[in-house]
Amino acid sequence: MKIFAAEEIRTADKFTIANEPISSILLMERAASQCAEWIFLHCKNHSKFAIFCGNGNNGGDGFAIARMLYLKGFDVDVFIDLSNEKFSNDAQINYKRLKEISGILIHDFKAIDSVRFDHQTIIVDALFGTGLSRKLDGVYAKLIDKLNQLSQIKISVDVPSGLFSDKISEEMQTVFQTDYTLSFQFWKRSFLHPETGKFAGKIVILDINLSKQYINETETDYFVIDDEFIKEIFKPRNDFAHKGTYGKAIIVAGTYGKVGAAVLATKSALKTGVGLTFTIAPKCGYEILQTSCPEAMFISGGEKFIEKIEIQKETVYGIGPGLGTDSLTEIAILEFLKRAENPVLLDADALNIISKNQENLNLIPKNSVITPHPKEFERLFGATQDSFQRLELARTKANELQIFIVLKDHHTQIINPDGKVFYNITGNSGLAKGGSGDILTGIITSLLAQKYSPENSCILGVWLHGKAADLAAEKFSKEAMLPTHVIGELGNVFLYLNKKVTTEL
């Protein structure tokens, strides 16, 4: 799914109005109807709604939603700034329609100081939409501060008021803290970054049928990885294939006390379908690896840590989990990179070794994949003020080095050498445990070995990792789930994928 900036979304509205054709007030009605229907289906245990409306089109959506919910049998109160009843054209039309319904009370914002909302009431924010371009102040800032103190369930229409769609909010900026955001047609970039996404709650994308021609023809550098995206990438297994068909992967991992990282990366590579799997690890991990991963072959890389890495042809290497940064390991990694001709995957301590000297970055083979978490990224490329700046720096570095960067975060971003960004929306906070990154290394290495392109390996790999984690969280909880549970769920994800592909032909 494409991600568009606020101005591009407004253009999509105008294009739809001109080319469907449809009037702007009917397009607003369509959007409001989608919101009201979602609320009706998901909020049946609540009987009352307090809808706060601004003067622009987001407020117009709110007026229409209020009318529709009332007609569905809910109690609805609407709050506006009665001192300023100058609305946008379409909002004015819906405000007039609202006032014709005697059962809906209209209050001034100031009434919030005297009205008591019970536990059956849901607060709906329709104050500002994607057009917001400045920090909120005055009556709106005070209102949102008060609303944020309420314990009732909160829903925002399109974008939480006070939140910018495409950029970081200012420090101490007033933003509506919602539980659900009903976003029209598209994800907004601000939903996908930790500093801003924390305000948006659970994201629900509502299809309001904006012009498919506009969406298809308009270019963007930003995408969300959804199931349709994955369906286009995934290649079902060929019944007449053999182990050579699905490539050869070598996991280079482990040191004394960290052999578990090698086990996790090896197991996840195997479970992702690679034909042949080898693990280069220190001899101290031989029995552990041969016992826990009998399907993989062991290659000794030293006694207690990796001292040498042999290069084999037609093989994909995933290097880094639990590797340590011993001086002999450092020499082995850098020597390997000097001799490597094909793309590799570099993670964890492999990245920490490279980060010791900026010149080492030039040793990374073109089209390789690196998978840093934010701190590893900082060691490699320098500090940034926030995740938006970090992403832009990653785009620059991916282009300079001609590599793919998997920037791990709550919504992990894959950045290709052309500067395109793919946000992943699977996964959960249960992955915030040691070993989760080792699994991702194994998954992506396995896909690279199976001849997926570097870009598709990263996109599919991150999605698989997150989807398996979501299944693990359903079974064990985010708190109790383990990285091994995530590996165990990979089979169920592949069952889901194969069913989706075969049933939708």
Which pLDDT value is given to residue 139?
93
Give mean pLDDT, residues 362-387. Answer: 98
Q: For the chain, what percent of residues have pLDDT higher than 70?
A: 99
Give mean pLDDT, residues 50-58. Answer: 97
Domain boundaries defined on the chain = 6-218, 230-503
User: What's the half-sphere exposure (Cβ side, CA atoms, 13 Å) at 290?
Assistant: 9
Q: pLDDT of 381-393, one tens digit each?
A: 999 999 999 999 9
Q: Is the pLDDT of residue 142 over 90?
A: yes
Give mean pLDDT, residues 205-224. Answer: 98
DSSP 249: E
Out of 3.40.1190.20, 3.40.50.9100, 3.40.1480.10, 3.75.10.10, the CATH code matching 230-503 is 3.40.1190.20
Cβ-based neighbours of 376, under 8 Å, separated by 6 or more: 348, 351, 352, 355
Give mean pLDDT, residues 364-392. Answer: 98
- The chain-wide mean pLDDT, for the chain, equals 96
- When pLDDT is cut at 50, 70 and 90, the band that residue 134 belongs to is confident
Q: pLDDT of 270-327, one tens digit each?
A: 999 999 999 999 999 999 999 999 999 999 999 999 999 999 999 999 999 999 999 9
- When pLDDT is cut at 50, 70 and 90, the band that residue 504 belongs to is low
Q: How far apart are CA 245 and CA 241, in angstroms?
A: 6
Q: Does domain 6-218 have CATH number 3.30.70.100?
A: no
82 neighbors 99 (Cβ within 8 angstroms): no
- Neighbour tally for 16: CB within 10 Å: 23
- Neighbour tally for 258: CB within 10 Å: 22
Q: pLDDT of 422-463, one tens digit each?
A: 999 999 999 999 999 999 999 999 999 999 999 999 999 999
- When pLDDT is cut at 50, 70 and 90, the band that residue 503 belongs to is low
- When pLDDT is cut at 50, 70 and 90, the band that residue 362 belongs to is very high
Q: Is the pLDDT of residue 505 over 70?
A: no
Both tokens of 74, joined, read 């809910």
Q: Is the pLDDT of residue 105 over 60?
A: yes
380 neighbors 354 (Cβ within 8 angstroms): yes
Asked if the domains 6-218 and 230-503 are classified in one and the same CATH topology, the answer is no
Q: Is the pLDDT of residue 172 over 80?
A: no
**pTM score of the predicted model:** 0.96
The owner of tokens 């976003």 is 183
Q: pLDDT of 1-43, one tens digit each?
A: 999 999 999 999 999 999 999 999 999 999 999 999 999 999 9
Give mean pLDDT, residues 205-226. Answer: 98
